[in-house]
Structure 1
Amino acid sequence: MLARTSTMTQSTPASAASLAPLASAPLAIVVLAAGKGTRMKSDLHKVLHPIAGRPMLKHLLASAAELAPQHQVVVVGSGREQLEKALGETATIAVQEPQHGTGHAVQQAQGALAGFSGDVLVLYGDVPFVRASTMQAMLERLHAADEPAVVVLGFEPDDALAYGRVIAQDGLVAKMVEFKDADAQERACTLCNSGLLAARAEDLFALLERVGNNNAQGEYYLPDIVNIAIADGRTAAVVTTDDPDEVAGINSRSELAAAEARWQGRRRERAMADGATLVAPETVWFAWDTVVGRDVTIEQNVVFGPGVVVADKVVIHAFSHIEGARIASGVSVGPFARLRPGADLAEGSRVGNFVEVKNARLGEGAKANHLTYLGDAEIGAHANIGAGTITCNYDGYFKYRTVIGERAFIGSNSSLIAPVRIGADAIVAAGSAVSRDVSDGELRLVRAEQLIKPGWADRFHDAMKRKKAEKKG
């Protein structure tokens, strides 16, 4: 009889305490990422394509890290160098070449786990949003009283399509079958196989040795270890996620965009639930690590890159782009502002329209309201930066710093040629190009002498009009 399992994962993330690794069972994570990703049509490895500014593989590994695994092994085919560069020392790389199916892929991790005795979670690099609580539920089921040999993660999509099926009764698996090998009755089952599973290391690799490739694809299927265990008279269990999106794979640019949209939708909801106002939520884009405080107002078409922390009572006006910035309480940003990495806006400061800030700190109450570039700079409290001001911080070889004192007034259309220091309460007259330090309280005016030539413009226009007329004639 085909039936649905009643075992469900938690609908919300578990507490940190409940995600502690099982005391008697060390954990290893094996992530399969050997697929060629041809549908992406990209030179970038599929699992390194970003969602919310973070490679999809790192989303997955971050969730797994909540369970404190002893080992993380990523199985790759092509693109090994890209993954090694992206992961560094955080994971061991195992190579599957050639690719003979998912069972064969997991076998490639055996060498990296030599001598390991504990639980193994098999995950997929292109299935990035599996919750730590779901992984924990699988491990807890593995250590239940009936001691199943394998625990698989199932899901029930709106359309079962060509997914492999899990034939189960009351949470116990009777059979695993790939869609291409399933008969009509089996295809009618709505419980699908996500591909994720948990097993003890000794069981996993022993069962894999017995997997054959007598199937429609001629490959070694990982789910076959379930059928082998059942044939041995052992128990196999299924845990079902309550959110099919959690196990949605990403194989194309279109699916990547859909995953981004789902992630952004949930992040916007969380921001509003935490006390932020999003004037047009669908136009605000967060990064994976964006921190937003309470009573923050974010207007239309605001984009956050990675590394942004926004304190309480901040207003971010429309069409602003913010990355790598810290924004203190009571700050106003934009519209049409750009904050680049290293921007640090102190309490009550203001960055207005068409102002760009990079590696610069604005002190408390400082203002740069219009058409300004502030790079590699320190702006003192309550300083006023006039429209069109730029800090000239780069000479083609090196970067230099500009320091502006408290309450200094920088007139419009001024160029501050670094390295330069403007003192407290100093005034730089509009249109000045300042290349030497300005003392506290000093007025600095650096302009060329204005020459007046009466009638010159009239004579010029008359001469040019005659020349143009002669040319036409």
Structure 2
Amino acid sequence: MEVRAIVLAAGKGTRMQTELPKCALKVIDKPMAEYVADSLKKAGVEDIVTVVGYKRDVLEAILSGKTKFAHQEEQLGTAHAVLMAEPLFRDFQGMTLIALGDMPMITPETYAKLIEHHALTKADLTVLTTDHPRPGGYGRIVRNKNGEIVRIVEDRFCTEEQRKITEINSSVYLVDNQKLFSSIREIGNDNSQKEYYLNEIVEIFRRKGYRVSVFKADDYQELSGANDLVQLSEMEKYLQEKIIKKFLSSGVAIRRPETVVIGSEAEIEPGALILPGSIITGKCRIHKNATVGPFVQVEDSVIGEGANVSFAKIKASKVEDNAEVKFVEIIGNEITGQNLA
């Protein structure tokens, strides 16, 4: 089963109150939309189209070489955004995964499980959901007495009874491409926002007799997005804790981990020691028995085996094995010898 993806990233993100498009904002050291593209590729989805709009050149620069692009000049809702990608998908006979560019916490494993579930159930449409302890603000999954999904109701349109539902829509879908675009054209905009909501595709598919399935993710935090800087900060905290825990579990010693920042692409070998106040971002590799910190910033650099770096800034450089570096700033492909201070 061939799977391609459409990533929706055209929104401005007004509540963020920044000049950048929302999906270009960084979580730790990488833009949200880049996390999504990287996770999809790790899940085996190589052909990705990102729908961009507001300041599209920013996202096109970030995702250059990773995805193709479609343009949504006017933001008229999620269904309309998907429709903008139709020219690139018209003849595709496989399955299309629709994801959001502002949901960077969904792991490659979750995308892969969604694809596997879709294939096993022989579904025409699969909706990614989760049970959320605070479902306010999310669309609710409405099921019939047989447990089948019958519709998704946006939070603002929920009845009091529907607001009690804790199963929420992630707005991530896997759908038969040949059934997708004709069904989207049946979605109307008879709502207060005059927008075309993709969640209505569930009712359309059921009405046509297509098979609709649900895959429920275990970790609700994976499926959380960010609409303002407070939520973005919470997202960053969650991702940072996962990264720290991964390295601690693999044999990397981290002192006062709450003071340490480690980016998503850092590689740290077991036996390394990370001391308080260290910031490790970009494509870094820290070898075994190296000590980084206290108060070190390392970006896109290599720290050799047994090296000791403290009170320093190292960028785009390499510190040799067993070297000692402190109280310096090294930028730009320099090879550091022994005992530079």
Normalising by structure 2, report the TM-score: 0.94
Q: 1:234 to 1:305 in 2, by over 3 A?
A: closer
Show CA shifts across 1:43-84 (max 9, x none). 222111111211111111111002333521111221111122
Residue of structure 1 equivalent to 2:136: 161
Amino acid in the other structure paired with 1:161: G
Show CA shifts across 1:83-117 (max 9, x none). 22222233222112322211111111101212111
- 1:357, CA displacement in angstroms? 2.3
Residue of structure 1 equivalent to 2:235: 259
Contact map agreement 1:171 1:238 (CA 8 A) in 2:
no
In structure 2, C-alpha distance between the alignment counterparts of 1:266 and 1:121, rounded to whole Å: 25
| Matching of residues 352-391 of structure 1 within 5 Å | 352=326, 354-358=327-331, 359-363=333-337, 366-369=338-341
In structure 2, C-alpha distance between the alignment counterparts of 1:331 and 1:144, rounded to whole Å: 50
**Residue 20 of structure 2 is aligned with which of 33, 44, 47?**
44
Contact map agreement 2:115 2:174 (CA 8 A) in 1:
yes
Show CA shifts across 1:130-183 (max 9, x none). 1222222222232235x3321101111111113111113666312221222222
In structure 2, C-alpha distance between the alignment counterparts of 1:100 and 1:197, rounded to whole Å: 19
Contact map agreement 1:295 1:313 (CA 8 A) in 2:
yes
Amino acid in the other structure paired with 1:222: L
**Residue 226 of structure 2 is aligned with which of 250, 253, 256?**
250
Amino acid in the other structure paired with 2:21: H
| Matching of residues 12-51 of structure 1 within 5 Å | 25-51=1-27
Show CA shifts across 1:249-271 (max 9, x none). 12222222211111111111111
Q: Secondary structure at the match of 1:218?
A: coil
Residue of structure 1 equivalent to 2:321: 347
Contact map agreement 1:40 1:253 (CA 8 A) in 2:
yes
Q: Secondary structure at the match of 1:260?
A: helix
In structure 1, C-alpha distance between the alignment counterparts of 2:291 and 2:204, rounded to whole Å: 60
Aligned residues: 339
In structure 1, C-alpha distance between the alignment counterparts of 2:29 and 2:124, rounded to whole Å: 38
Where does structure 1 differ by over 4 angstroms across 4 or more consecutive aligned residues? none
**Residue 285 of structure 2 is aligned with which of 296, 302, 309?**
309
Residue of structure 2 equivalent to 1:122: 98
User: RMSD in angstroms over aligned alpha carbons?
Assistant: 1.7
Residue of structure 2 equivalent to 1:415: none
| Matching of residues 34-433 of structure 1 within 5 Å | 34-145=10-121, 147-168=122-143, 172-334=148-310, 336-342=311-317, 344-352=318-326, 354-358=327-331, 359-363=333-337, 366-369=338-341
Show CA shifts across 1:430-466 (max 9, x none). xxxxxxxxxxxxxxxxxxxxxxxxxxxxxxxxxxxxx
Per residue, is there more helix in 1 or in 2?
A: 2
In structure 1, C-alpha distance between the alignment counterparts of 2:105 and 2:40, rounded to whole Å: 10
In structure 1, C-alpha distance between the alignment counterparts of 2:204 and 2:129, rounded to whole Å: 18
- 1:232, CA displacement in angstroms? 2.4
Contact map agreement 1:264 1:285 (CA 8 A) in 2:
yes
In structure 2, C-alpha distance between the alignment counterparts of 1:227 and 1:247, rounded to whole Å: 22
Show CA shifts across 1:261-310 (max 9, x none). 11111111111111111110100101121111122221111111212211
Q: 1:117 to 1:70 in 2, by over 3 A?
A: farther
In structure 2, C-alpha distance between the alignment counterparts of 1:171 and 1:367, rounded to whole Å: 67
Q: Secondary structure at the match of 2:262?
A: coil
Contact map agreement 2:114 2:215 (CA 8 A) in 1:
yes
Q: Secondary structure at the match of 1:135?
A: helix
Which protein is bigger by CA-based radius of gyration?
A: 1
Normalising by structure 1, report the TM-score: 0.69
Residue of structure 2 equivalent to 1:459: none
Q: Secondary structure at the match of 2:80?
A: helix
Unmatched 5+ stretches in structure 1: 1-24, 370-473
In structure 2, C-alpha distance between the alignment counterparts of 1:320 and 1:158, rounded to whole Å: 38
Unmatched 5+ stretches in structure 2: none
Contact map agreement 2:151 2:200 (CA 8 A) in 1:
no
Contact map agreement 2:143 2:150 (CA 8 A) in 1:
yes
Percent identity (aligned) = 28
In structure 2, C-alpha distance between the alignment counterparts of 1:219 and 1:73, rounded to whole Å: 22
Q: 1:283 to 1:182 in 2, by over 3 A?
A: same
In structure 2, C-alpha distance between the alignment counterparts of 1:332 and 1:90, rounded to whole Å: 36
In structure 1, C-alpha distance between the alignment counterparts of 2:133 and 2:169, rounded to whole Å: 14
Contact map agreement 2:257 2:276 (CA 8 A) in 1:
yes
In structure 1, C-alpha distance between the alignment counterparts of 2:250 and 2:123, rounded to whole Å: 41
Contact map agreement 2:37 2:67 (CA 8 A) in 1:
no
Q: Secondary structure at the match of 1:143?
A: helix
Q: 1:337 to 1:42 in 2, by over 3 A?
A: same
